[in-house]
Amino acid sequence: MTTTTRPPSGSAAQVEHIPARTASPGRRPLLDVVIPVYNEENDLRPCVERLHRHLGDTFPYPFQITIADNASTDRTLEIAHELSDRIPEVFVLHLGDKGRGRALRAAWGISRAPVLAYMDVDLSTGLGAFLPLVAPLLSGHSQLAIGSRLAPGARVVRGPKRTVISRCYNRLLRVTLRVRFSDAQCGFKAIRRDAARELLPLVADNGWFFDTELLVLAERSGLRIHEVPVDWVDDPDSRVDIVPTALADLRGVARVGWGLASGRLPTQELRARFGAASPARPAGAIVRPRTAGSGS
């Protein structure tokens, strides 16, 4: 059955939702992995098939995969439907407007899974990091988890230009917004649904800055963010247009910085709503695994 609904937070984009057919009726998925796509007819099928095999072999709980199509004009949506018809754990969302943030807001907003994740369709991140990413959220230890290409232990293959841009951007965030997480834009993240329900209405961006805005709000609201060093191989066919994206990110940094300074973003209210931090760690703590040779 196909239904049409509107995504949360007042977005005007229409969403076509194909309900997943679970292999075990009545078993609610504990994990929903969203793959935002725009004109990815070449990569979508092998990506979903590989991810499904990996989760089936390594993830011990019910899961689903949601393909969030951002107004594709090629065969992406057709291929998504074919995958949904063939693989019981696959959802399809079709949005009439572009934007990674818009896709995640819509998909996460209607998901029933207690842990929500997303990853890029190019599978630049090694899938071996998936269980370390979501395990702290399933246990309740952390509210968010992010893959990091800049954390100790990460192994990254990409060109010097993108490396410099990434390091400069994350340095800018540390200086201007005083963040403590190491990598805002890695396309490999997860969040508990209860945290997403509180944070998503406050995130204004529907594009690439969505990730940064979500993480800044989470950290300022006292949520615990778990970082996982990843193996990353850059996709030479990346669709990110660097200059417009960088300018939009700078505008986003200024907007969020003003919102925090002026008190328009209710982070103190959220901090109280989520409760006191653990006595062992300050509110908004960044949790990083120890690497070999680290002290006790």
- Read off the pLDDT of residues 258-296 as tens digits, 9 standing for 90 and up: 999 999 999 999 999 887 444 444 556 788 776 544 443
SS3 76: helix
| CB 210 within 8 Å of CB 101 | yes
What domains are there in the chain, each with its CATH number?
A: 3-275+283-287 (3.90.550.10)
| CB 32 within 8 Å of CB 116 | yes
- Read off the pLDDT of residues 231-263 as tens digits, 9 standing for 90 and up: 999 876 666 677 888 899 999 999 999 999 999
Band of residue 153 on the pLDDT scale cut at 50, 70, 90: very high
Whole-angstrom distance, CA of residue 81 vs CA of residue 272: 43
Whole-angstrom distance, CA of residue 87 vs CA of residue 21: 8
Indicate which residues carry an active-site annotation.
Answer: 211
Provide the whole-model pTM: 0.86
State phi, psi for 148 to the nearest 5 degrees.
-130, 130
Whole-angstrom distance, CA of residue 58 vs CA of residue 40: 26
Q: Which residue in 195, 38, 183 sits closest to 120, CA to CA?
A: 38
Task: Say if residue 13's pLDDT is above 90.
Answer: no
